Amino acid sequence: MAFSFSSLFSKEAKSVIGIDIGTSSIKVVQLRRDHGRVVLETYGAIALGPYAGVEIGRATVLPAEKIAEALKDVIREANVTTLDAAVAIPYSSSLVSIIKLPPGVEKQLAQVVPIEARKYIPVPITEVQLDWFEVGGGKTAQGEDRIEVLLVAIHNDTITKFRSIASEAAIQASFFEIEVFSAVRAALEHGIAPVAVVDMGAATTKFYVVERGLIRESHIINHGSQDLTLAASRALGITVVQAEERKRKFGLVEPPATITGGQAVLAQAADLRKSIELSLSPLLAELSRTVSAYEQRMNQTLGALVFTGGGATLKGFKELAQTKIQTEVRLSDPFGKTQAPAFLEQILKEAGPEFSVAVGLALRRLQELG
Ligand SMILES: Nc1ncnc2c1ncn2[C@@H]1O[C@H](COP(=O)(O)OP(=O)(O)OP(=O)(O)O)[C@@H](O)[C@H]1O
Ligand SMILES: [Mg+2]
């Protein structure tokens, strides 16, 4: 998929591109700042399945060369016109945790955090790049004051791999950012109440709790959108390719009675809905439990669950999720933070969740350029 309308805009300001290399597809979004507004210039996605010899929509594990090849292809297909890039690092290649330190060490974090980090990181500290952000204070169970630091570690091998992808694809990566920060930047308004951002990818779903713009908690749930396809393929006796096509075409929405193919197609879509509902139920139940557990532990209510990721673009997903989850369910609308031609509004709203990470990266790069 690719769409370009950069020709509609003048070219004076600097354009930047956000690159999200997911397990099932690469997403790119090109933005430009124009008189303080953020203009969407182009976006596109390319499935990685074909580069790994598996079906579209499936998670893959690919060497840097193959990823670089796909990245070059999507950059060409989407008519990307800049090399100034920001690239996401998968959450699964990082370690994110909150560490609690005694008050008074604020000025010595550079010494204290790496020492403390040894307790949290399962590999030698020399093998990772460490980063940290103060996220506020709190009290221990005994009522003692604590400062809380969000610790982020990325393995050196991961950075090396992403550097080599960037150089093979001939882009200039200004920074690498763990996808959680990009997704949250694109998905949220500046609210105060804690909300959860839920990124539904191909093989897994990532769950982040965000409060006052800061990430409080994050973890991975082992259910993703490819599970729906694989289960539908088995239940309906169709190929994985057919199941993926039907999942994207019909989703959970009943097609109009006048659809070509008539009764047979309506029956297929009804079988598909049953299968998808069944396979979504463990994920939705786990999300509900995760929310309750968080609310009980922290003694505070989550304001909303904001869904992102390709899996959340399933037609009818929001409505189904809302029947199973008590907290308000929303879909992320990252393109809502950008200016685009009005006729694209509906398309961009529907595609938005898939592009949250890529939009979030490009937004940060624009901020950096000022
Ligand atoms: N229109 C659609 N309807 C339903 N599902 C869809 C649609 N478009 C994409 N998907 C599903 O979304 C999933 C991919 O989502 P996404 O692109 O966010 O994953 P990813 O970033 O590659 O994975 P991850 O973040 O876990 O590495 C695929 O399993 C695909 O089948
Ligand atoms: Mg992803």
CATH number at residue 66: 3.30.420
Give the strand pairing for 84-89 and 172-178. Answer: parallel
Helix, strand, coil abundance in the chain, percent, nearest 5: 45, 30, 30
Ligand 1 centroid – CA 13 distance (Å): 32
**pLDDT given at position 261:** 86
Ligand 1 lined by 309 (C-beta under 6 Å): yes
* Amino acid at position 100, single letter: K
Q: Is residue 172 part of a domain?
A: no
Considering the domain architecture, whether residues 151 and 133 belong to the same structural domain is answered as yes
Cβ of 201 less than 6 Å from ligand 1: yes
The pLDDT of residue 267 is 95
Task: Judge if 59 and 10 occupy the same domain.
Answer: yes
Residue 216 lies inside a defined structural domain of this protein? yes
309 CA: nearest ligand 1 atom = 18
Q: Which of 21, 23, 25 is the pocket-test mutation for ligand 1 (most atoms within 8 Å of CB)?
A: 25
Cα of 204 from ligand 1 centre, angstroms: 10
Q: Is residue 123 part of a domain?
A: yes
> Domain check: are 214 and 328 in the same one?
yes
Ligand 1 centroid to Cα of residue 183, in Å, is 14
311 and 347 together in one domain: no
245 φ, ψ (degrees, to nearest 5):
-60, -45
User: Does any ligand 1 atom lie closer than 6 A to the CB of residue 352?
Assistant: no
Q: Where are the beta strands (DSSP E) in the chain?
A: 2-4, 15-21, 25-34, 37-47, 84-89, 94-101, 128-139, 145-155, 172-178, 195-200, 205-211, 214-221, 305-308, 329-331
Residue 41: which domain range? Answer: 1-83+333-370
Same domain, 281 and 200: yes
Instruction: Give yes or no: residues 241 and 369 share one domain.
Output: no
Both 14 and 111 in a single domain? no
**Substitution site in 20, 252, 354 for ligand 1 pocket (most atoms within 8 Å of beta carbon):** 354
Q: How many angstroms separate the alpha carbon of residue 57 from the centre of ligand 1?
A: 6
Q: Which residues of 64-99 are buried (b: 16+ CB within 10 A; e: fewer)?
A: bebbbebbebbbebbbbbbebbbbbbbbebbbbebb
How far does the centroid of ligand 1 lie from the alpha carbon of residue 180, in Å?
16
Instruction: Calculate how far, in angstroms, residue 24's C-alpha sits from the geometric centre of ligand 1.
Output: 7
Please choose from 1, 19, 20, 24 the residue to mutate so as to test ligand 1's pocket, defined by most ligand atoms within 8 A of CB: 24
Task: Check if 25 has its Cβ closer than 6 Å to any atom of ligand 1.
Answer: yes
Please tell me the number of the ligand nearest to residue 200's CA.
Answer: 1
Q: Give the closest residue (by CA) to ligand 1 atom 26.
A: 201
Residue 348 falls inside a structural domain: yes
Instruction: Kindly state whether residues 337 and 317 are assigned to the same domain.
Output: no
pLDDT digits (tens), the chain, 370 positions:
555 555 455 445 799 999 999 999 999 999 999 988 999 999 999 999 999 999 999 999 999 999 999 999 999 999 999 999 999 999 999 988 888 888 888 888 889 998 888 888 888 888 999 988 888 776 766 777 788 898 999 999 999 999 999 999 999 999 999 999 999 999 988 777 899 999 999 999 999 999 887 888 888 999 999 999 999 999 999 999 999 999 999 999 999 988 888 899 999 999 999 999 999 999 999 999 999 999 999 999 999 999 999 999 999 999 999 999 999 999 999 999 999 999 999 999 999 999 999 999 999 999 999 8
CATH of the domain at 239: 3.30.420.40
Q: What is the CATH number of the domain that holds 152?
A: 3.30.1490.300
Ligand 1 centre distance from Cα of residue 49 (Å) = 12
- pLDDT, residue 121, reads 86
Residue with the smallest CA separation from ligand 1 atom 19 is 201
Residues 299 and 212 in one domain: yes
pLDDT score recorded for residue 23? 98
Backbone dihedral region for residue 170 (phi beyond 0: left; psi -120 to 50: alpha; all else: beta): left
Name the closest ligand to CA 357.
Answer: 2
Residue 308 CA neighbour count, 13 Å, CB half: 30
- Single-letter code of the amino acid located at 172: Q
Residue 82 Cβ contacting ligand 1 at under 6 Å? no
pLDDT for res 326:
95
Pick the ligand that lies closest to the CA of residue 23: 1
Same domain, 344 and 368: yes
Q: Which pLDDT does position 10 carry in this prediction?
A: 47
Distance in Å, CA 200 to ligand 2 centroid: 7
State residue 356's pLDDT score: 98
Task: Choose one of 156, 172, 206: the last residue of a domain.
Answer: 156
263 found inside a domain? yes
185 lies in some domain:
no
Q: Which ligand is nearest to the CA of 92?
A: 1
| 24 located within any domain | yes
Whether 67 and 100 map to the same domain: the answer is no
Evaluate whether residue 208 is within a structural domain: yes
Ligand 1 centre distance from Cα of residue 206 (Å): 13
Q: How many domains does the chain have?
A: 3
For residue 6, the model assigns a pLDDT of 53
Let me know whether 353 and 297 are in one domain.
Answer: no
Task: Report whether residue 332 contacts ligand 1, using a CB cutoff of 6 Å.
Answer: no
